[in-house]
Homo-oligomer: A and B are copies of this chain.
Amino acid sequence: MIDYRSDNTGRAAPEILEALVRANHNTALGYGADEWTAALQQRFSELFETVVRVFPVATGTAANALSLAALGPSWGIVYCSEAAHINTSEANAAGFFGGGIKLAPVAGEHGRIGAARLAEALASIGPGQLHRGQPAAVNLTQATDLGTVYSIAEIGAVAEVAKARGLRLHMDGARFANAVARLGCSPAEATWRAGIDIMSFGATKNGGALCDAIVVFAPELADGLAVQLRRAGQVWSKMRFASAQLIAYVEHGLWLEMARASNAVAARIAAGLNVLPGARLLAPVEANEIFLEMPAGVMNALEADGFQFYRRSATLARFVCRFDVTDAETDALVASLRRHCALPAKAAE
């Protein structure tokens, strides 16, 4: 079996687990008052070229929901892409942690939120109109949930519309490493310099193990968030074991190295799909995910060949590439796809 189901089915980078094990000496104060967590603040502030506050959390759902709750108020409207993970896959955690925050999907291309459509949505709620709640924040998924990547300019365009109305920006960076690897820019350019106030900094999907993080760029958000995290049961008492993972994740550029690897797998598959008659990419392949429309019969044939992947609908397959997929595994998928998709769709069914 060759697994393209998700990036969370994969292994953790050995460097990360080794760092966790290395942290197991001496005693250290609990709840983040340890030297590893202090070092994490320092390391991420260097990485982002500004003083940031970093809060390790157990999951991306926690990172997203608690970030959005910090951008409140509880009657706030959070604009997001229709495809956004917070909208489709987190059991309305944002609505729960935010005390009634409402998500408002905004259309856009290939998983992005469209700046013009956002402006329209905002214009539809005039000042003093209370009956729909109040616009509060914008959520951008980077890379997007359809495997594309916002350019810096695209983030800036959304930010401009949002800031003009006083809204805050949250980036769901579950695959932030893949986006930065694709853009070739600095983490700072991709975030606070483009207007992001707070982000979910993903590690799990890119070779991490048991933690992601919230990175706070707008300093006034951090103190309240710290209490909220404690109340949310997201502050490990033995925090050093989480902080050590996150330090190792970014040390020596490991995170970008892994992201480049998984992006490369996806790019190699996409290149191999070029002009296949029986399949169509739903969106450009810009990170480590491939959304491919194809007949159900082709999906069946791929599974029979030993490939694992998710069916998003009867005719849409998703392939997610992990950092440790081998060239052989990559080429095997391409070969199988070419074999089955070269046939006319009808015949394949």
Interface residues of A (CB under 8 A from B): 3, 5-6, 8-12, 14, 17, 20-21, 24-31, 57-63, 65-66, 73-75, 88-93, 95-96, 99-102, 130-134, 204-205, 208-211, 224, 226-228, 230-238, 241-242, 308, 322
Bound-complex Cα distance A17 to B245 (A): 13
Given contacts A91-B230, A95-B102, 15 further A-B contacts (CB under 8 A): A6-B30, A6-B237, A8-B30, A8-B237, A10-B27, A10-B238, A11-B25, A12-B241, A59-B235, A63-B233, A75-B228, A91-B130, A91-B133, A130-B227, A209-B241
User: Would you list 25 pairs from A and B whose C-beta atoms are within 8 A, ordered by A residue?
Assistant: A5-B27, A6-B237, A8-B238, A11-B24, A12-B238, A17-B24, A20-B20, A27-B322, A31-B130, A58-B236, A59-B236, A61-B231, A73-B224, A73-B227, A91-B131, A93-B230, A96-B100, A96-B231, A100-B100, A130-B226, A134-B227, A204-B237, A208-B238, A209-B238, A210-B210
Instruction: Assess the B21–A17 pair: CB atoms within 8 A.
Output: yes
- Tell me which of A3, A66, A91 has the highest count of chain B C-beta atoms within 10 A of its own C-beta: A91
With A130-B230, A228-B75 in contact, is A92–B102 under 8 Å at CB?
yes
Which of B25, B28, B322 is within 8 Å of A9, CB to CB? Answer: B28
Bound-complex Cα distance A331 to B96 (A): 50
Contacting residues, chain B, for A205 (C-beta < 8 A) = 237
Contacting residues, chain B, for A236 (C-beta < 8 A) = 58-59, 204, 210
Instruction: Assess the A99–B75 pair: CB atoms within 8 A.
Output: no
Chain A interface secondary structure, helix, strand, loop or mixed?
loop
> A101 CB to closest chain B CB, in angstroms?
8
- Tell me which of A20, A21, A232, A235 has the highest count of chain B C-beta atoms within 10 A of its own C-beta: A232
Bound-complex Cα distance A56 to B227 (A): 23
Nearest residue, chain B, Cβ from A62: B233
Bound-complex Cα distance A205 to B66 (A): 26
Contacting residues, chain B, for A238 (C-beta < 8 A) = 8, 10, 12, 204, 208-210
Contacting residues, chain B, for A60 (C-beta < 8 A) = 233, 237
Which of B9, B25, B231 is within 8 Å of A90, CB to CB? Answer: B231
Contacting residues, chain B, for A10 (C-beta < 8 A) = 27, 238
Instruction: Assess the A91–B62 pair: CB atoms within 8 A.
Output: no
Instruction: Assess the A233–B65 pair: CB atoms within 8 A.
Output: yes
Bound-complex Cα distance A17 to B62 (A): 24
Nearest residue, chain B, Cβ from A13: B24
Bound-complex Cα distance A27 to B61 (A): 21
Which of B74, B100, B231, B308 is within 8 Å of A75, CB to CB? Answer: B231
